[in-house]
């Protein structure tokens, strides 16, 4: 159901001199879809926080765990907000490994991420990538890829992994997620990770200065600021906690304590009405 040919001309021109969050992420995980400016920004961020690649790997582990929980709950369709460039640990790849026939729509505002996502899904009739601002929940939910692939009358796995801390307008972020939660059926899951200010301080300020010169400035939030993103959906065990606690539950370890404590992570389920 790929719409590469129909939508490619609508994508804005890419500025290779301005670092992109999606391309920095891609480079830090060993990907090839990045420019010199992205690699320079990644080097600066990694210099300030050497654990950064490990933190991104943990985001991928959490993504895999969240998708596994969703599939075990009978969910076979996913909406991946801020999907990034396809690669190891990203929503499309994780979903395909876990549920080969599942339906998935990725959403991103980075043209490079969208182009590579559409190329990756070109021969996959159950997947597509939408160029859109995730803060505009109405436009995303009403888009042809979402309406064509996802059945919002059935539970959906809503993924927001390593994305929310690149949205500085908290009010708009809370409002957008409220729109998504309202539109999804009972039994849907929201999986979310967020950079934790308290755990990352003081180095988070150095990393944030790097990202402030990219396509998406960064803001770290603490637990009480992250909880409203789940609204009234109850959190699954072990609640909103660090990767270290999630790793203990899933049995996955192997990264440093600093990396495992840098982000908050949680999965919530929409209750029956």
Model confidence at 169, pLDDT cuts 50, 70, 90, reads very high
CA 142 remoteness from chain centre: 20
Residue 95 belongs to what H/E stretch? helix 91-98
> What integer best gives the mean pLDDT of the chain?
88
Nearest alpha carbon to residue 82 among 10, 174, 167: 167
Nearest alpha carbon to residue 55 among 94, 22, 25, 85: 25
What residue ranges define each of the domains in the chain, with the CATH number in brackets? 4-269 (3.40.50.150)
Q: What is the pTM of this model?
A: 0.92
Give the tens place of pLDDT for each residue, 207-244: 878 888 888 888 889 999 999 999 999 999 999 998 88
Q: Which residues of 34-47 are buried (b: 16+ CB within 10 A; e: fewer)?
A: bbebbeebbebbbe
Name 140's Cβ contacts closer than 8 Å, sequence gap at least 6. 79, 81, 107, 130, 132, 134, 146, 180
Vertex 134, ends 132 and 136: CA angle to 5°? 85
CB 89 within 8 A of CB 56: yes
Q: What is the DSSP letter of 272?
A: P
Give the tens place of pLDDT for each residue, 89-127: 788 889 999 999 999 999 999 999 999 999 999 999 999
What is the spatial distance between Cα 114 and Cα 219, in angstroms, rounded to a whole number? 24
Name 57's Cβ contacts closer than 8 Å, sequence gap at least 6. 29, 89, 255
Q: Which of 19-23, 56-60, 180-184 has the highest mean pLDDT?
A: 180-184
Structure tokens at 247: 């790793």
What is the spatial distance between Cα 212 and Cα 248, in angstroms, rounded to a whole number? 33
CB 161 within 8 A of CB 29: no
The DSSP code sequence of 8-44 is: GGGSPPP-TTS--HHHHHHHHTT-S---HHHHHHHHH
Q: Which of 5-9, 168-172, 211-215 has the highest mean pLDDT?
A: 168-172
């Amino acid at each position: 159901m790929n719409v590469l040919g129909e939508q490619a001309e609508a994508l804005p021109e890419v500025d290779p001199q301005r670092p992109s969050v999606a391309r920095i992420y891609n480079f830090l995980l060993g990907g090839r879809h990045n420019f010199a400016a992205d690699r320079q920004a990644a080097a600066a961020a990694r210099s300030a926080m050497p654990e950064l690649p490990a933190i991104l790997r943990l985001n991928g582990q959490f993504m895999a765990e969240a998708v596994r929980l969703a599939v075990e709950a009978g969910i076979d369709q996913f909406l991946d907000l801020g999907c990034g460039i396809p690669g190891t640990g990203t929503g499309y790849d994780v979903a395909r490994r876990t549920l080969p026939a599942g339906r998935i729509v990725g959403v991103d505002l980075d043209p490079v991420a969208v182009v590579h996502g559409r190329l990756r899904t070109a021969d996959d009739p159950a997947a597509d990538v939408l160029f859109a601002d995730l803060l505009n929940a109405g436009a995303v939910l009403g888009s042809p890829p979402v309406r064509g692939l996802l059945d919002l009358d059935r539970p959906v796995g809503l993924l927001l992994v390593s994305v929310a801390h690149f949205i500085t307008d908290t009010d708009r972020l809370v409002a957008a997620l409220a729109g998504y939660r309202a539109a999804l059926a009972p039994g849907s899951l929201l999986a979310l990770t967020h950079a934790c200010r308290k755990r990352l301080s003081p180095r988070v300020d150095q990393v944030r200065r790097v990202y402030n010169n990219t396509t998406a400035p960064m803001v770290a939030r603490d637990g009480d600021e992250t909880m409203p993103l789940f609204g009234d959906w109850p959190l699954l065990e072990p609640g909103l906690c660090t990767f270290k606690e999630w790793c203990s539950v899933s049995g996955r370890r192997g990264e440093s304590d600093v990396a495992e404590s840098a982000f908050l992570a949680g999965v919530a389920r929409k209750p029956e009405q």
